[in-house]
Structure 1
Amino acid sequence: MGYAFNLGDVGFLRSAAGLVAAAEVDRLPLTSASYLADVAAARSLAGDRASALLETVLLRRKAMSKVDSPERWLFTDAALQQATPALVAGHRARRLVGRDVHDVTCSVGVDLVAVARVAARCVGSDLDPVRLAMARNNIDAANVAATLLRADALGPVTRGTAVLADPGRRDASGRRRWRPEDFAPPLGALAETYRGRDLAVKCTPGIDFADVPWADEVELVSLDGAVREACLWTGDLATGVRRRATVLRSDGTEWTVTDTQDDDCPVLPVGEWIIDPDGAVVRAGLVRHYATAHGLGQLDERIAYLTGPVPPPGVRAFRVLEHGRYTEKALRATLARLDVGRVEILVRGLDVDPNALRPRLKPRGGGEASVVLTRIGRAPVAIVCRAERTSS
C-alpha cells in the first residue's frame, strides 16, 4: 500500500528544509542492507517526517521510467503505479493540442503536465486533497500552467473543454477480464456524465471492447514491447477509425495500424521468418491488417503468429532454422543437434508452460535459439529460430 502521506508531509517536502533533507537522503543507498542506518539518517534530518522523506526518495527513483526529471516531483505509491509513462502520455496529449482540456481525475498530475504542455488552457481536478497538493508541486516543478480544483469526476465543473479521465482500478482479482464497473468512477458513468463532450478515457488494455460501445475509437498503445493502455476516444477526438494499435519506442520511432486498412492476408506454410506481432496489434484485433501491410501471412487463421520472406522493419523477428511436428523428445534432439544451450520459448495455441518445459529439454550446448510452439490446424508444431532485430 505504501506510506499514507498527509498535507503536512507535502508541506514539509515542498519547504526549503524538506528540499535539503531530500537531497541528503538521495545520497543514501536505501537498500535492505542499509535500512537501519538509512532510517536513522532520515530521522536525524526530518524527525517525524522521516517516513515521508524516505518514501518520496524511493518513489522518485522508481519514477525515472515514467516522468522526465522526477527529482522534484511528489508521488504516492498507488499514484505512481497508475501513472502513464511520459512517452505514452505525450502521445495521447498530441490529440489535445491547442484545446481547452479538463483532466477530471488528475491525481498527482502526470497526465496533467503532459497535456498542459500542449493545451491552450488546462484544468485538473481530483477528490483527494493530498494528491491535489502533490499535483500543484509537480506542475510547478514541470514549469507548466494549470488550474487545480477539488471536484468529483462525475460532477462537471467546466464547460466546453475536452475531458480526460484516468479512473482508478478496483480489486478485480478472480475475474478473467476487466468490467466497466471495476473502475472508479465506472466507465459507463463517465461516458454518461460527459455525453456530447469530447472525451478521452485511459483504461486497462484488458477491457472488452463490447463493454464500451460508446467509445468512437479504441486505441491500444504499447511502449518498448509492453502494452501500456487502452484509450477510449469520443467525439472530435476520435479519428474516424474504430480500432487502432500504436507502437511507441524509447528511441522515438513509432507506427500505427488501424481497422480501416486492408486485412486480406493469406494463410501460409512456415516461411523464412516468423513474426510475433506487437501486443498492441494483437490486443486490438489487427493482426491480419498488420500482416497485409507487410506482405505476411498467418500460420493459422486463429493464431497470431505470422510468416513470410521479409520481416517488417524495426522489429524483433525470428529466422527459421528448422520446423516440424512438436514432441518434447523430437525438440530435445533438435536442440542437441544444433548445439543449443540457451533457449527462449514462445507459445501460442498450445497448453505448454515454457518455464516448466525448458529444464526438461536439457539444453547443454554453446549456442542459443528461440523456439516457437504453436499449432497449425490441429497439429502441434515446433519452429526453431534465431532471433534478430531488423533495421528500421
Structure 2
Amino acid sequence: MGYSFTPDDVAFLRSGAGRGALAAASDLELSRSSMIADIGELRGRYAPFDAALIETVTCRRKARAKLRHPDELLLTDDGVQQATAWPVAQTRAVEIIRRYPDSVVHDVTCSIGAEVMELSLRLGVAGVIGSDIDPVRVAMARHNATTVELSAPTVLLRADALTPTSSADVIIADPARRTGSGRVFRLDQLTPPLLDLFTVYAGRPLIVKCAPGLDYQSLRDEFGFDGEVQVTSLDGGVRETCLWSGPGTRALRRATVLRNGDGMVSRYEITDDEADDVLAAEPGEWIVDPDGAIVRAGLVRHCAHRHGLWQLDPQIAYLTGDSVPEAGRGFRIIEQVTVSDKALRKALHALDCGTLEILVRGLDVDPDVLRKRLKPKGSRSLSLVLTRIGRKGVGFICEPGVRGPNPG
C-alpha cells in the first residue's frame, strides 16, 4: 500500500508551486540509501506535501514502461499497478471505435484515467466519460486528461460504478482486484463485484477488464456468461482477460497478442471460430511454445492448424513443426534425450552448455532445482524443453529460443 493522497495534496500538485516542487523532487535520487536525506530536504522546503511529492515521483518512475508521458501524470501506487498498459488500452480503444462508431463511452471505474486518455485521443468517439468513487482519483484523472490533446469531448466525475449516471452507449469497467489485505481472486470479492456489473448494465455493450487468470469457463458454466472472452498479452506477458457482453457480442474465445516496438504496436489475433483439427506426431525442426494468451484462451490447436504445426501430445500445449509462427517462441532441436539427471548432464556437458534456460510442461519438475543439479559449466547458451509424450517424459536440448516474426 502506498501513500494515501488527500484532495489538498492533489490541489497542491496541480498548482504552479506544486509543479515546481515536483521538478525539484524529480532531480533527487530517492533510493534506499538516499531516502532519509531526500525526505529531509523536501520536508524542509515543501512540508506538509513532502510525502505526496515523493510518492508522485516514485509512481511516475514505475509507470515509465506502462503509460504515456508518465512524468506529467498524477498517480497513486495502486493506480499504476491496475492501470492498463497504453498499447493494450490503445488497441481496445481502436476496437471500440470499430465496433461502436460515434458512440459515447463511459469508463465507470476510471481510476487515474489511463483508459480515458486513450479513448479521448481518438477520432470516431462521440464522447468519453470517466467516473470513480474515489474523489482523489477523479481529481488525478481530470489532471491527467489535460496532458493529452483530446479529440473527443471528455467529462470526469465522481460516481459509484453500480449507480448508472449516464446513458452512454458503451460501458467499460475494471473491478479492483486488491483490498487492504492483498489480492483477491473470487468474483464476488472484486470491487465492484463482477456479477453486479453484468446486472446493472444489462442491455448495453459492457467491457470488463479482469485478471489474466480469470476462470472464464466457470463463469460460463456456473453463471451463464454468453459473451466474448479476450485474453491479451503484451511483449510475451499475459496482461488481462477482457469480457465483452451485451448487444452485438456472442460466445467466443479470442487471443490478442501485442508487441510494442518503439511505439509501433503490432497485433496478432486468433479465435475459436478457426479450425482446430491437428495431429500429434514426431517432432519437427522446432519446438514451439505458443504465446501465453493463446494458451490461456485454449487456442493452441487453432494456432497449430493456422500455421501448419502439430502437437507432440494431445494434452500438452507445446507445438512442433518446421517454422515459428508470429505468436510464439521457437526452439530449434539439437538433440532429444531422456529426462534422467544422468542423461541430461552427459548430453549438456558434451554440448559445452553453460547458461541453460529450462521450460517444463506436463512434468513435475522445478527448473531452478534441476539447473542446480545439472551444474552446467561450459560456455554455450542452450535451452532445455522438458515435457511428456503419452506417459513418457522427454527432453529436447535446443538452441536458445527465438520469437517468431512480428505480427502483421
Tell me by how many angstroms 1:212 deviates. Answer: 3.0
How big is each residue's C-alpha offset from its partner over 1:219-245, in whole Å with a ceiling of 9 and x where there is no partner?
A: 00000000000110013463x560000
How big is each residue's C-alpha offset from its partner over 1:113-157, in whole Å with a ceiling of 9 and x where there is no partner?
A: 112222210111111111111111111122334212211111111
Alignment partners' CA distance in 1, 2:41 and 2:118:
35
Q: Evaluate the alpha carbon distance shift between residue 314 and residue 209 of structure 1 in structure 2; reply closer, same or farther with a 3 A threshold.
A: closer
Name 2:377's counterpart in structure 1: 364
Name 1:11's counterpart in structure 2: 11
2:119 aligned with 1:106: no
Identity rate, percent = 49
Structure 2 unaligned regions, length at least 5: none
Q: Which of 185, 192, 195 is 2:199 aligned to?
A: 192
Alignment partners' CA distance in 2, 1:184 and 1:117:
28
Q: Which of 219, 233, 238 is 2:244 aligned to?
A: 233
Tell me by how many angstroms 1:160 deviates. Answer: 4.3
Q: Evaluate the alpha carbon distance shift between residue 155 and residue 279 of structure 1 in structure 2; reply closer, same or farther with a 3 A threshold.
A: same
Name 1:166's counterpart in structure 2: 174
Name 1:54's counterpart in structure 2: 54
2:146 aligned with 1:132: no
Tell me the secondary structure at the aligned position of residue 197 of structure 1. Answer: coil
Q: Is the 8 A contact 1:10 1:130 kept in 2?
A: yes
Tell me by how many angstroms 1:29 deviates. Answer: 1.3
Tell me by how many angstroms 1:331 deviates. Answer: 0.4
Tell me by how many angstroms 1:174 deviates. Answer: 11
Alignment partners' CA distance in 1, 2:92 and 2:34:
40
Name 2:272's counterpart in structure 1: 259
Name 2:120's counterpart in structure 1: 116
Name 1:146's counterpart in structure 2: 154
Alignment partners' CA distance in 1, 2:144 and 2:287:
45
Q: Which of 276, 282, 285 is 2:295 aligned to?
A: 282
RMSD, matched Cα: 1.8
Q: Is the 8 A contact 1:74 1:134 kept in 2?
A: yes
Name 2:335's counterpart in structure 1: 322
Question: What amino acid is the match of 1:202?
Answer: K
Tell me by how many angstroms 1:210 deviates. Answer: 2.7
Name 1:178's counterpart in structure 2: 185
TM-score by length of 1: 0.95
Alignment partners' CA distance in 1, 2:391 and 2:174:
42
Q: Evaluate the alpha carbon distance shift between residue 312 and residue 374 of structure 1 in structure 2; reply closer, same or farther with a 3 A threshold.
A: same
Alignment partners' CA distance in 1, 2:133 and 2:405:
48
Count matched residues: 390
Alignment partners' CA distance in 2, 1:389 and 1:192:
42
Tell me by how many angstroms 1:376 deviates. Answer: 0.5
Q: Is the 8 A contact 1:102 1:162 kept in 2?
A: yes
- Structure 1 segments, 4+ long, off by >4 Å, are 170-175
TM-score by length of 2: 0.92
